[in-house]
Amino acid sequence: MNCDDADTSCFWDKYIDIYRLSIEQLIYTHFFRDTMSSFFDNTKTVGIAFLIVGIILIVSAIFSIAMGFIEVDAETKGDVKDWTLYCVIGGIGSLICAALYTMFALKVFNGSMTAKIEILASYVRIVGLTVALGGIFDGVASIVGGQDAAAALAGAIMAVVIGLIIMFIASKINDGKETVGDSIIWIILLIAFVILLVISVLEIITIIGIIDGVAHLIIALFMIAFLFDADVKKKMNM
């Protein structure tokens, strides 16, 4: 805005515009950017979310084992011939995976793991490991339970392959190299965490698994925030 020296009205309008912009900048800086930055810098918050998910997984695994000793109807059993072994073996696999996940969660929660890039890589790694282990135990449970062995074996192999791919991606996140592959992995992870975010929101909206939904919503938000962290982006060639 151009003002003549004698035009006091224009002068005050310009002064008010500058003042308004200063207030807006202050609000953005201190009440939005700094607050959100502080929130996502507090890794203990995501540690709590990890712990909640870990506890849910442990409870679910124990319930799966207990189901093997409960009499159920033929419709629930489906083509499973040995219901007890099927539930116990599958439940033990789920319990092992839940324990590994919870151990990771505790490291984040108690502060022994604080670097964003390390948390990101470790989270992806534990997901890959549990996918592979879970697939193996589920395959064994299905075979011992009397289901189609070929289908169970194919499912287990597929789970192991997917798990190994995820763990390979995890190994590249924090390997100290900045390559085109890192950039591709960054994009893949962003898409994966956005999908997790959407699924979590749907869980919350439908009230089905609302606690699990909220926990995974927090995890998804943190993982996305970690991906956009300047240091993480630099290390992943973005």
Q: Is the pLDDT of residue 222 over 60?
A: yes
CB 101 within 8 A of CB 54: yes
In this prediction, what percent of the chain has a pLDDT beyond 90? Answer: 32
Whether 100 shows a pLDDT value over 80: the answer reads yes
| C-beta of residue 49 within 8 angstroms of C-beta of residue 222 | yes
Least confident of 1-5, 208-212, 217-221, 232-236: 1-5
Residues written for the chain? 238
Whether this prediction's pTM lies above 0.75 is answered by yes
The burial of 104, by beta-carbon neighbours within 10 Å (0-12 exposed, 13-18 middle, 19 or more buried), is given as buried
pLDDT digits (tens, 9 = 90+) for 112-144: 888 888 989 999 999 999 999 999 999 999 999
pLDDT for the residue numbered 230: 83
- The domains of the chain are located at 1-41, 42-235
pLDDT digits (tens, 9 = 90+) for 152-179: 999 999 999 999 999 999 998 888 788 8
134: part of which helix (H) or strand (E)?
helix 116-144
The secondary structure of 40-65, three-state, reads HHCHHHHHHHHHHHHHHHHHHHHHHH
- Note the pLDDT of residue 12: 45
